[in-house]
Structure formats: C-alpha cells, structure tokens
Copies of this chain bind each other. A is one copy, B any other.
Amino acid sequence: MIEGRHFRRDWSSGYDVGRKAAAQNLADIAAMGAVPTSIVVGLGIPADLPLAWLDALTDGFGDECAVVGASVAGGDITRCELVVIGVTALGDLGGRAPVTRSGARPGQVVAVAGRLGYSAAGQALLEAGVPVAADELARAVAGHRQPRPPYACGPEAARLGAVAMLDVSDGLLQDLGHVAKASGVRIELDPRALEVAEPVAAAGKELGADPLDWILTGGEDHALAAVFPAQVALPPSWLVVGRVVAGEGVHVAGRAAGPGGWDHFR
C-alpha cells in the first residue's frame, strides 16, 4: 500500500490503514481455504511521520490479526519519502489442498460471502466531501476505511467443496473474470440476486448513483467469491449470485461485461 495511491492520511487514520493493510492480506489466505496464522510487515516511513500515527498503524495490524487469531510475527522498517506498507500473510491449510482460481466447470454455481460495494460507496462519499453524520453513510465510509472480510467463510467454503475461490479486491466483475479465465469457462451473474446493503443504497441515493455499479465494480471490501458444485447445500453466509457455463468472460444479465465494468452495457 502506497500513500496517496492506496490511502490518504487525511481520509484514513493510521489505525484504519493498519487494519486495512492486514485485512487485504489475511483475506487472501482465507480465500485459499486456509486459516491465517501470522503476518510480517515491511514499512517505509518518512522522517516526519508522527509517532502516534505509527503506533496507531501497528495497533491496527495487531487488532486485525486478532480477529482471526493470527499475530504480527515480525517485520522491518526503513526511511522512505512516503508511507509504504508491504504485508506478507501466512496461513495453515490444515492439510487440505489450496482452493485456486482454476477449478470452475460448467453447471456449477457462483456464490459470494461478505460485503460488496461498501468501500467504493464510502470512497465516493469521501471524494464528494459529503458530511457523513447520517448513520448509513457513516457505515459505508467506515467500510472503506476498515474492510470486514468474512474470514471464516474461506475455510468453510473449502470444507463444503468449493472448486474455485478468491477475495474481491478489484471488483466482483474483474475478479470473477480471473476465475473465468483461469478455469476456461464463462460466468453468468444475475444482478437481481445481488443484495444491496443499506449503507450502499443510502450512498447511491445521496450521490444520485446506481449502487449496483459499486457492488459489481468496487473493490477493497474483500468479500469472498467462490464456485461450488450445484448440489452443495450452502449455509446462509453464502449467497448464490450466478452460474458457470461454457464460454469465456463474465456476463451480467445476459450481456458481456468488459474490463471497464458493466454500466456501459445497460
């Protein structure tokens, strides 16, 4: 994570950035079906960075790790002109093979667990300078500052027989595109199946935007998206949002979604 590119110190506290940097990498571990065990952190910091900001960052690393029972195992620190954070996360597969991106086959179902659209909606609110006293808007902004990946759903999916999985870091369409490409299949999404959470809906209303854009193309919530055999009975944490068919790419409501998203196809 590079200051000015992946976070802004005026939009996020050191604690927020620490939670987010850890979450992004712990979610990668969960998305392979593993339980995160530790992170190591490489930091570059400017000479004039307030010590309190660095302390808060470190607290954020620790607290996010504590969510999954992991710990900060070590790291290194050096001077840099801007804040640069590199996190490596480690985990335990418990003897199972990792769930990769290449196992999707026609006839299977696509499901998601966790939040979609919060981070993008929150960022849009921050960019627009909207005051976020209102509760639902504040929840979207909080979701941008501190994602809440559904960590436990990763190993759960692996136990249920997930054949492909990843965390949604760049947007549902783009990330499912990786699964489609690696598996040599087409993924068809049904946008009506995607739930629009209250904070995302409220941000859409506030800004006059379609919340579905954020849900389909917004990254950084680190929801999990997985492909399951059709006969698997999914628990309530997983919401079926599409299916796997022969072909390539990702289709939304029957039309191809391009690299730029889906909205220009409507």
Contact = CB atoms under 8 A, between A and B. Distances in A.
Given A81-B82, A82-B81, A88 B40 contact: yes
Classify the interface of chain A: helix, strand, loop or mixed. strand
A6 B84 contact: no
A88 B41 CA distance: 9
A113 to B, nearest CB: 23
Interface in A7-59: 40, 42, 44
Nearest to A80: B2
A266 interface: no
Given A81-B82, A84-B80, A42 B42 contact: yes
Contact of A79 (B5, B42, B79): B5
A44 B2 contact: yes
Interface string A64-96: 000000000000001111101011101000000
A99 to B, nearest CB: 15
A42 B84 CA distance: 11
A87 B87 CA distance: 10
A5 B86 contact: no
Contact of A42 (B81, B86, B90): B86
Interface size class of A (residues with CB under 8 A): 10 to 19
A78 B44 contact: no
Interface string A87-112: 11010000000000000000000000
Contacts of A82: 81
Nearest to A75: B88
Count chain B CB atoms within 10 A of each CB in A2, A44, A87, A88 and give the residue with the most: A88
Nearest to A73: B88
Contacts of A88: 40, 42, 86, 88
Contacts of A87: 42
Interface in A222-245: none
A44 to B, nearest CB: 6
B78 A2 contact: yes
A111 B60 CA distance: 40
Contacts of A81: 2, 81-82
A79 B2 contact: yes
Given A42-B86, A80-B84, 15 more contacts: A2-B78, A2-B79, A2-B80, A2-B81, A2-B84, A5-B78, A6-B78, A40-B88, A42-B42, A42-B87, A42-B88, A44-B84, A81-B82, A84-B84, A90-B90
In order of increasing CB-CB distance, the 5 nearest A-B pairs are A86-B86, A42-B86, A88-B88, A2-B80, A84-B84
